[in-house]
Amino acid sequence: MSTLLLSHPACLEHLVPHGHPERPDRLRAVERALEAEKFQTLAREQAPMAPLEIVALCHPMDYIVALRDASPAEGLIQIDGDTSMSPGTFEAALRAAGGGIRAVDEVLGKRAANAFVATRPPGHHAETAKPMGFCLFDNAGIAARYAQNRHGIARAAIVDFDVHHGNGSQEIFWADKTVMYCSTHQMPLFPGTGAVIESGEYNTVVNAPLRPGDGADKFRDAFENRILPRLAEFQPELIIISAGFDAHYRDPLANLNLVEEDFAWATQKIMDVADRCAGGRIVSMLEGGYNLSALGRSTVAHVQALTGQ
Ligand SMILES: [Zn+2]
């Protein structure tokens, strides 16, 4: 079984204001990086649009419908301080969620070893009924709930190494003891949540904040001493990675000092836990990463680890 790569050209049609960091070129950089010879063994599929009732596993239907109805016929509309919609945004958002759903089907159906979903807009800042921080739907959260609802997975975990805290994933699963949410992130930084004491109603939220300037040592410490032990203890049957690459030292939105090897290392560590308790089942979903060359190289390191190279 090989690693499955899911993407869709419609995700390039989510247009943003000039100079906005979460831009279509990010996805082009990721796709270009994955054209390399060593990725010829990847299985590739187009991300389908998520059915609205599946998106509704994490978001109220009236929120979803309001976003659909807000879609502009032309130009851009602002739906949050730094989140906007263009005519192609709603479809892109459904495909970003749908990529995760398809990945769950393929990985849990044992047709793929694991999967990487290269789509945009990202998802981990979207709260139950609130778009935020470039995100409309919590793609990783929807994948987790879908795995539980349609495949009978009892416990799923989301591991989020994006440099920003995934306030949306935390909020959605705050009082859900069947989904663990673990995050390394810079603090202080947008969105301001993610302190260690934020641990959820059932102690299934695991936050490991890092300080501006921290690099590989502190990042690896946070994984080895806080996240991985809790993850292993939780015994998830599926691990979803919120794979943001904006903790890279070249990223313009934050001040951590990781390099691509650190993402490969974290990926391998997560795979080790997945091998022990989840039959190796991992679905990884692209979140942030705003320096195009760092994003491309970090994606290569991450996907290479997923393929076992
Ligand atoms: Zn981010």
What average pLDDT does the segment 158-165 reach? 99
- pLDDT at res. 184: 99
- pLDDT at res. 299: 98
DSSP 259: -
**pLDDT tier at 55 (50, 70, 90 boundaries)?**
very high
- CB distance 171 to 200 below 8 Å: no
The contacts of residue 15 (CB under 8 Å, 6+ apart) are 24, 76, 86, 87, 88, 89
Ligand 1 centre to CA of 188 (Å) is: 13
Ligand 1 centre to CA of 284 (Å) is: 15
Ligand 1 centre to CA of 43 (Å) is: 27
H or E element in which residue 77 lies: strand 77-80
Q: Is the pLDDT of residue 245 over 90?
A: yes
- pLDDT at res. 294: 98
**Rounded alpha-carbon distances, angstroms, from residue 297 to 8, 20, 169, 300:** 20, 21, 26, 5
Name the pTM for this structure. 0.99
- pLDDT at res. 1: 87
Q: In the chain, how long is the greatest CA-to-CA distance?
A: 50
**How do residues 274-295 score in pLDDT, each as one tens digit?**
999 999 999 999 999 999 999 9
Q: Is the pLDDT of residue 254 over 90?
A: yes
Question: Half-sphere exposure of residue 270, counting CA atoms within 13 Å on the CB side?
Answer: 31
Amino acid at the residue 164: H
In this structure, are strands 179-186 and 156-160 parallel, antiparallel, or unpaired?
Answer: parallel
What average pLDDT does the segment 52-78 reach? 98
The contacts of residue 112 (CB under 8 Å, 6+ apart) are 1, 2, 3, 4, 43, 103, 106
**pLDDT tier at 309 (50, 70, 90 boundaries)?**
confident
Active site residue 151: no
Q: Is the pLDDT of residue 230 over 90?
A: yes
The contacts of residue 67 (CB under 8 Å, 6+ apart) are 79, 85, 90, 93, 131, 136
4 DSSP β-pair partners: 43, 115
Contacts 24+ apart (CB under 8 A), 67-71: 67/93, 67/131, 67/136
**How do residues 5-25 score in pLDDT, each as one tens digit?**
999 999 999 999 999 999 999
- pLDDT at res. 272: 98
- Please give the mean pLDDT across all residues of the chain: 98
Ligand 1 centre to CA of 289 (Å) is: 6
C-alpha 195/C-alpha 204 separation (Å) is: 14
C-alpha 305/C-alpha 309 separation (Å) is: 6
What average pLDDT does the segment 193-203 reach? 98
Which residue is catalytic, options 14, 59, 125, 302?
A: 125
